[in-house]
Amino acid sequence: MDRLVIRYPAARSLSLFWNIGRFLGIVLVSQIIRGFFLVFYFVPSINEAFSRVDYIGREVFFGFIFRILHLNGASLFFFIIFLHVGRGLFFRRFFLENTWLSGTSILLLVIATAFLGYVLPWGQISFWGATVITNLISTIPLCGTQLVLWLWGGFNVGGATLCFFFSLHYLLPFIVLIIVFLHLIFLHETRRTRSLSTRDNFYRISFSPFFTSKDFLNVIFFLIFFIFCLNLPWVLGDPENWVPANALASPVHIQPEWYFLFAYAILRCIPRKLGGVIALVFRVVLLYFLPFFCQKYNINFIYLFILSIFFTSFFILTWLGSCPVEEPFIFLRQFFRLLYFRSFFFLIFL
């Protein structure tokens, strides 16, 4: 096996960006390991969840390190997965159907896992975020209200909801891990070690040491991430979440983590709740349509121009998601939401 890895023929033009997928896998496994140890001290109860999270940070040996690495590790994971998806769109990797579809499924499950995990500390933003997002399901015709009551385990977000979310947050990462293995199998079936250049397929070099040496980039990233967590552990969090959940007093400004802000901006710019839910779901589900509707042609200037508009609207919507609901931010959300979906539809049907 080692000889196969060392002598594995790889194209000479592989850059450091081919290392993003490996880094994602390392971050995913490290998140699962840290979460596994945090579970030992967490109690999914509305009376104890908030205090137990505080106990982990103050009393448990190395508990503070595990908690801030797990908390900020989610941001690191989403930052890298956005880069990974963006690279796939840039190089039109969605024509590798099985690989792309499994990767999109991973993205959906990771989004669900991150949302469930954000509810567990049972702070003000956690509680009201869960209330707002789960209420959106009530817009589903015929069975929406029943689904919401089933998710809540009652008539409001409470102890049963917290236990249910905790169970799913613990279970989903292992399902993600299984799909990741399928993703890797599909990836190697298509021999994605090839570069874009046809000439490179005939001039290959051994994978080790020419490309294994690039894995040291992961060590540098982890070092930067560790220094960031020690110096700015709470900079990406909301201070309102340090207040215990109170169903009688909602925060003045509710906003999710930064990696959900673009979706939150799309949701808030649509006046009808059902329309907002449809747009919220389609922002990721549209990725499933790319392998089936896009035309197979070489990357050209028009495609890159539309893709740049799509990326720009994504970044601006992320910023607008943290802005208050007032002018000119309302108009800007509506404009860039339209630009976001229009550019994506152009990518599909171009």
**Mean per-residue pLDDT over the chain, rounded:** 84
Burial of 141 (0-12, 13-18, 19+ CB in 10 A): exposed
How far apart, in Å, are the Cα atoms of 181 and each of 110, 184, 189, 220, 336? 15, 5, 12, 25, 36
Domains of the chain: 8-194+202-246 (1.20.810.10), 255-350 (no CATH)
Tokens of 211: 């490309």
Reported as half-sphere exposure (CB side, CA atoms, 13 A), residue 23 has a value of 25
| Whether the Cβ atoms of residue 102 and residue 186 lie closer than 8 Å to each other | yes
Q: Which residues contact 231 (CB under 8 A, 6 or more apart)?
A: none
Taking the CB of residue 129, how many other CB atoms lie within 10 A of it? 24
**Where are any strands of DSSP class E within the chain?**
9-11, 204-206
Model confidence band, residue 273 (pLDDT cutoffs 50, 70, 90)? confident
For residue range 143-202, list pLDDT tens digits in order: 888 989 998 988 889 889 999 999 999 999 999 999 999 998 888 777 544 444 444 455
202-233 per-position pLDDT tens digit: 566 666 766 667 777 778 888 899 999 989 98
Grade residue 1 by pLDDT with cuts at 50, 70 and 90. very low
The arithmetic mean of pLDDT across residues 25-47, rounded, is 92
**What is the pTM for the complete model shown?**
0.89
Using CA atoms, how far residue 206 sits from 3, 19, 186, 210, 215, in Å, is 10, 16, 22, 7, 15
Q: Is the pLDDT of residue 55 over 90?
A: yes
For 306, counting Cβ atoms within 10 Å of its Cβ (0-12 exposed, 13-18 middle, 19+ buried), the class is middle
Minimum mean pLDDT range among 47-51, 91-95, 100-104, 155-159: 91-95
What's the CA dihedral at 248, 250, 251, 253 to 10 degrees?
A: -170
Angle at 100 between CA 258 and CA 266, to 5 degrees: 35
